[in-house]
């Protein structure tokens, strides 16, 4: 079974690149299931109803997010009605939305997608993502089918530690949030595909999706300006994962990067 995971879609350039390349990637690699992180899709931070509808029109099975999912307040008006739009599962009980969903893939397989957020340099008040993941894996409802995890966090060490924590218990874990694609994709010893960060789907002549001049000026003057998203050519970044449906173990994982003009 072929799974496509796409990293943080940033603003209009990221959405435009995703629209231009997603269907082609799916056809080229015979993709059965697609997960896309969308927390930066609306002007670089958060998600509006209009942007969500734009993305929902694309062949995406599940959308994940992270610390910016609630940046646009209007997301509260629709997130409870969209079970395949996830926010991190380890937000407190009662938070709008859900962080876990099980979906039937195009080939009939049951796929559970989990979205968690880290604590290091992020939100230490959230529930421990490691404890949350262990609790999820104890659920009897997850004994069949494939399990995928988008772990949205800042540090490479926390992402890597989670990979070892879940190795052999889920099919794949990838990291999002830092917007820089890492070169450490591999199948861990007990069969879980892992990559520290999928990278960004957005304008690449930028500083992780933000107008480069604004960021450079901030470092030079020590005065921060408004973080406007960059424009210009964009890249789609992510990973392709091949999973054996019978065992739930990953056979391979490889990075993808497709540039748009």
Q: Measuring CA to CA, which residue among 106, 113, 114, 85 is closest to residue 97?
A: 85
Question: Any catalytic annotation for residue 68?
Answer: yes
Q: Is 171 helix (H, G, I), strand (E, B) or coil?
A: coil
What tokens does 170 get? Answer: 């889920």
Name the DSSP class of 170. S
d(CA 147, CA 35): 12
* Residues 86, 98 contacting (CB under 8 angstroms): yes
Query: DSSP states of 5-19 as a string?
Result: EE--B-HHHHHHHHH
Catalytic residue among 21, 29, 68, 89: 68
What tokens does 78 get? Answer: 């629709």
Name the DSSP class of 164. H
> What is the radius of gyration, based on Cα positions, of the chain?
17
List residues with catalytic annotation: 68
């Amino acid at each position: 079974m072929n799974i496509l995971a796409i990293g943080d879609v940033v603003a209009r350039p990221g959405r435009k690149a995703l629209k231009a390349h997603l269907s082609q990637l799916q056809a080229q690699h015979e993709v059965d299931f697609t997960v896309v992180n969308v927390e930066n899709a609306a002007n670089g931070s958060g998600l509006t109803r209009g942007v969500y509808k734009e993305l929902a029109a694309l062949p995406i099975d599940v959308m994940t997010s992270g610390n910016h999912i609630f940046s646009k307040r209007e997301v509260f008006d629709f997130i409870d009605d969209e079970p395949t739009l996830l926010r991190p599962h380890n937000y407190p009980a009662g938070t709008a939305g859900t962080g876990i969903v099980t979906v039937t893939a195009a080939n009939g397989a049951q796929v559970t997608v989990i979205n968690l957020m880290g604590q290091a340099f992020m939100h230490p008040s959230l529930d421990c993502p490691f404890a949350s993941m262990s609790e999820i894996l104890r659920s009897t409802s997850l004994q069949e089918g494939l399990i995928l995890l988008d772990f949205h966090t800042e540090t490479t060490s926390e992402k890597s530690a989670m990979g070892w924590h879940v190795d052999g218990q889920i099919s794949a874990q990838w990291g999002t949030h830092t917007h820089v694609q890492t070169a450490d994709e591999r199948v861990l010893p007990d069969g879980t595909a892992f990559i520290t960060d999928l990278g960004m789907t957005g304008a690449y002549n930028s500083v992780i999706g933000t107008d480069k001049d604004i960021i450079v000026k901030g470092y030079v003057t020590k005065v921060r300006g408004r973080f406007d998203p960059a424009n210009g050519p964009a890249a789609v970044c992510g990973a392709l994962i091949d999973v054996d449906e019978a065992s739930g173990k990953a056979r391979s994982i490889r990075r993808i990067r497709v540039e748009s003009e």
